[in-house]
Structure formats: C-alpha cells, structure tokens
Amino acid sequence: MLKNIRLITVLLLVLSVTTLLNGCGLLFSNELIVNRYADALLTKNNELQFRFRINSEILAGQQLYKVKVTIHDDKLAEAIGKREIVYGEEQVQNGEYLEVEGKGEKYIFMDPLPLNVDLHIHELKNMIEKNNAVSIEVFNNQEVFGRTYLTNFSSEL
C-alpha cells in the first residue's frame, strides 16, 4: 500500500513539474512576432496605435530589417487613410533599416494614426480580433522573416 502511494506521489510530482515547465516555455517564445504582445490600441484621442514585440534572437544572422503593417479591411483602411504603414517610414525612404540589437525582444510602438471615420469600439475589436483586418510583416530586400495577423485589441476609452 505504501509503495502504491509513493508511486502515485512520484507520478503526480512528475506530471506537475512537466506542466509547470510547459507553461514556463510560453514565456520564451519561438515566434518572431510575439502574438500575445501584439495589439492595436485605440487611444483617448480616437487614434489607432499598433504595438508589438519582435524576437531579435530569431533574426540571428540578420542585421537589418523593416516592419510593415498591412490593413486588409476596406472600412478600416478608409478610416486610417492608408493600406500599408512601414515602421520608420522616414528611414525606409532613405534606404535605411531597423537594426537587430542584442538579444531578446524589441518593443515597437508605431506612431498613433488618427481615425478619419469614427468606428465603434466593438466594431474595431471584431475587425481586428476576428476578421484578420491587420497583418504585420518583418522583412528585408531579400526575404520575409515572419508574417502574422494582429489578433489583440485594447482601448483607453
């Protein structure tokens, strides 16, 4: 009887440790664009800001890259007034790129874009979270390193 209790205890302990380690693995993501930190924020001034993290470790061996946000929803593109936004547009026009700096993840907060058309918060939320209205792409002139849809929305209102 005591042997069975020890066996069950050891199995439960192994199961608990395995579950804990798998959960901790979520903190150290292999994703290039870390989805749980990628979102669109509606500011108090009725502006939309795109925020996300780039995992620089995955770009190992690459020194330069660009980030492009593409608006796939026609109504949202009309409200923003743009279909594509490239992070660091001034740098891109001058032929410069963003640099991969060090290890870990780099936060990118794009400048807020004023909405030319008022959209209801729930409508924006549905567009972004359910209808794949916005995608993010990390690339250079030779290749695309990663692409994902933005699926998180938050609001300051």
Q: Note the pLDDT tens digit of each residue in 97-154.
A: 565 555 566 777 888 899 999 899 999 999 999 999 999 888 877 888 888 888 889 9
| Chain-centre distance for alpha carbon 111 | 15
> How many CA atoms are closer than 13 Å to the CA of 96, on its beta-carbon side?
9
Specify the length of the chain in residues. 157
Q: Confidence class of residue 16 from pLDDT cuts 50, 70 and 90?
A: low
**pLDDT given at position 39:** 85
Tokens of 110: 């794009």
pTM (predicted TM-score): 0.69
- Name the most confidently modeled range: 9-13, 19-23, 54-58, 65-69: 65-69
- Whether 95 has a pLDDT exceeding 90, the answer reads no
Q: Judge whether residue 29 has pLDDT over 50.
A: no
Provide, for the chain, the percentages of residues in helix, strand and coil under a 3-state DSSP scheme, each rounded to the nearest 5. Answer: 35, 30, 35
